[in-house]
Copies of this chain bind each other. A is one copy, B any other.
Amino acid sequence: MTVSAEPASDRCATAGLVARRKRGRALEAPFYTGEEFFALDLAAIFAAHWIFVATEAEVPEPGDYVTVDLGRYSVILLRDDDEQVRAFHNVCRHRGARILSDAAGSTGNLVCGYHQWTYATDGALLHAGQQAPDFEKSCWGLKRVGLRSVEGLLFLCLAPEPPADFEEVAEQVRPYLAAHRLRHTKVAAQVDLVEHANWKLVMENNRECYHCEAGHPELTCTFFPTYGYRPDEIPDRLLPAHRRYLDASAELARECDRRGMPYEPIEELSGRPTAFRVQREALDGAGESYTRDGRAASRKLLGELDTPRLGRLSVHYQPNSWFHFLGDHAVTFSVLPLAVDRTLVRTTWLVHADAVEGTDYDLETLTDVWRRTNAQDGALVARAQAGVRDPAYEPGPYAPTESHVEEFVTWYIERLKEHQNR
């Protein structure tokens, strides 16, 4: 990634704060409020890791594209005629104009609107008007961006040398995803929410459910609020929920075993560049899907599934996403930093490619829980951002149920140290 070099004074300040990070405590304020850390995060995290940005379902046909803004970068994801999705920098090689302005669309050749430089869908420069005799077309194709699809989930990497462990992680996650056949889905809805908080506060908020009981009435209809507690730490008031969880988990295990579907957790949330967690877990209520009553929202189940009673396959992926795969739909979340205190959360609901809105599913029922939950989270993290920028803020202690928050923070600090040592 071409990043303007950090000033030396910034480098000293950030390194000092990274070094003195205290385990068991939240991060100090500048991590969430300092422009120097925002620049560092873009360079050390977002331009150096595989970032979840879209799904193949968003570009179903050859010529379909989406553009993704990541920091100052704009990247085109385009399905080429060979059905492969490729990624290019959205920058003309002539005088740098943006080539595609829309967030999504369909195109043949890529034509820059300024001087009509024309590129093939594989990025090769085809025409550039009248040029000097020594002009060498082959030198001026669109710049490629690394792209990987994991069962239809699209991850891009801006770094010339992406983290080497991505494929290994993908291999571990694929068996969990397979039955949901994401490549045979369509986008039922996509909602962009701009949250007024640093991207790490958005991620941290997602990594604990200490706030769920009071904060997310709709979510906790089906999400067990015991999430994050060790069995011996569960507070008394949550014991009834815990008993329901144990019963539902036992049933889920039977169903999965019968179908040969993996469900046991794999958790590697720190200690590696491509950190993740995957587990299929039981849902409360009717136990079928992420809806108010827990019943499936789409009658057309994903892939060839023969039952909706498969709980939620949840994937936490660092740095910037989480996913829930249900029997009847999937919902993906991508977190993209816009400014030190502003973050885009893009939520996408996927249903079976042949499901028909109004017949097989109702959009309101499908999207209700996460629309509301996202809005609630947006308000909560805005309060957190307002507070951490107060000079009186000092990092408080994490509760036991916030262990995944601490894992996220630990991973983040590891990544910054890795970046410093390069």
Contact = CB atoms under 8 A, between A and B. Distances in A.
Interface stretch (A86-94, A185-193, A241-249, A363-371): A86-94
A40 to B, nearest CB: 15
Given A96-B384, A97-B380, A116-B214, A130 B233 contact: yes
A215 interface: yes
A258 interface: no
B114 A215 contact: yes
Contacts of A47: 391
A390 B72 contact: yes
Interface in A130-169: 130-132, 135, 140, 143
Nearest to A236: B130
A26 B392 CA distance: 35
Give the number of copies in the complex: 3
Interface in A1-43: 1-4, 7, 9, 26, 29-30
Contact of A130 (B95, B215, B390, B401): B401
B26 A95 contact: yes
A94 B396 contact: yes
Contact of A390 (B9, B91, B114, B116): B91
Given A93-B396, A135-B397, A98 B383 contact: yes
Interface in A370-422: 380, 383-384, 386-397, 399-401
Contact of A396 (B98, B140, B380, B392): B140
Given A26-B96, A128-B399, A129-B399, A101 B383 contact: yes
Interface in A320-351: none
Nearest to A229: B130
A48 to B, nearest CB: 13
Contacts of A30: 4
A108 interface: no
A387 B96 contact: yes
A78 to B, nearest CB: 16
B130 A97 contact: no
A115 interface: yes
A279 interface: no
A3 to B, nearest CB: 7
A391 B2 contact: yes
Nearest to A390: B91
A390 B26 contact: no
A211 B91 CA distance: 17
B72 A383 contact: no
Contacts of A380: 97, 113-114
Contact of A89 (B89, B93, B392): B392
Given A92-B387, A130-B235, 8 more contacts: A3-B391, A71-B391, A73-B390, A89-B392, A96-B388, A97-B384, A98-B384, A129-B235
11 contacts: A4-B30, A73-B392, A74-B390, A91-B387, A92-B396, A95-B204, A97-B386, A98-B383, A98-B390, A115-B210, A130-B229
